[in-house]
């Protein structure tokens, strides 16, 4: 185990600047392999021969009145089955994630399921060799100003 691992809680505020998402609360989930972002109106399109996806999301939990439009290039399409056994085609995007003073590129699937409590799940692939998760802690990398009660 490397010694430069950052310790984070099971909930953290992260930023996804390429998607224009400055503050998004992520559930840090060692039970999930892939990371996942809750999106809706997911529409693929092509730009200069590159497969792109445009989607909307509610960046803040319980605030369906706030909508952000995001654009990302598609790195893969996958068939994913959920805990209820349903299969769904999902787009995989690659994007930069900021967590505390660290940043790196992560891959995320886009899902349109409404039942997701957290707008973002951070899975093992994105965490490997970078962080340890403390199940007793939350927001070890800080809470953005004005977001204390969200």
Partner 1 sequence: MRLTYAMFYLLCSVVSYQAVADSKAVIGWVEYASLHNRNISLKAKMDTGADNTSLHASNLKLISKKGEDWVRFELPDEVGGTHTIEQPVIRYTSIKRRGVSAQERPVILLKICVSNQLREVEVNLTDRSNYSYKLLIGRSYMEGLFLIDSASMYTVSPDCK
- Is 56 near partner 1 (CB under 8 A)? no
Residues 34-53 touching partner 1, rule: CB under 8 A, are: none
103 forms part of the interface with partner 1 (CB under 8 A): no
Task: Please spell the DSSP secondary structure of 29-98, one letter per residue.
Answer: -TT-SSEEEE-EEEEEEEETTEEEEEEEE--STT-TT--EEEEEEEEEEEEEE-TT--EEEEEEEEEEEE
Nearer to partner 1, 128 or 145 (CB): 128
**Does residue 13 touch partner 1 according to CB under 8 A?**
no
> Binder to partner 1 among 63, 77, 78, 113 (CB under 8 A)?
113
**Residue in 62, 83, 101, 149 binding partner 1, rule: CB under 8 A:** 83
Measured from the CB of residue 58, what is the shortest distance to partner 1 in angstroms?
17
Kindly state whether residue 115 participates in binding partner 1, applying the rule CB under 8 A. yes
Total residues contacting partner 1 by CB under 8 A comes to 29
Based on the shown chain and the rule CB under 8 A, indicate whether residue 131 belongs to the binding site for partner 1. yes
User: Residue 82, interface with partner 1 (CB under 8 A)?
Assistant: yes
Q: How far apart are CA 68 and CA 7, in angstroms?
A: 30
Do the strands 131-134 and 40-47 form a parallel or antiparallel pair, or are they unpaired? unpaired
Burial of 111 (0-12, 13-18, 19+ CB in 10 A): buried
In contact, 90 and 108? CB cutoff 8 Å: no
Residues making contact with partner 1 (CB under 8 A) = 1, 5, 7, 10, 27-32, 82-86, 113, 115, 121, 123-124, 127-129, 131-136
């Amino acid at each position: 185990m490397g010694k430069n691992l950052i310790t984070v809680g099971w909930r953290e505020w992260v930023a996804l600047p390429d998607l224009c998402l400055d503050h998004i609360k992520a559930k840090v989930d060692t039970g999930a392999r892939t990371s996942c972002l809750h999106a809706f109106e997911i529409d693929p399109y092509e730009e200069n021969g590159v497969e792109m996806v445009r989607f909307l999301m509610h960046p803040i939990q319980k605030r369906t009145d706030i909508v952000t439009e995001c654009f990302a290039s598609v790195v893969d399409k996958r068939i994913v089955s959920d805990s209820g056994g349903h299969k769904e085609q999902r787009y995989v995007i690659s994007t930069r994630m900021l967590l505390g003073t660290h940043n790196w590129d992560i891959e995320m699937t886009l899902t349109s399921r409404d039942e997701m409590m957290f707008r973002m799940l951070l899975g093992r692939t994105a965490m490997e060799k970078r962080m340890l998760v403390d199940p007793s802690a939350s927001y070890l990398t800080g809470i953005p100003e004005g977001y204390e009660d969200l």
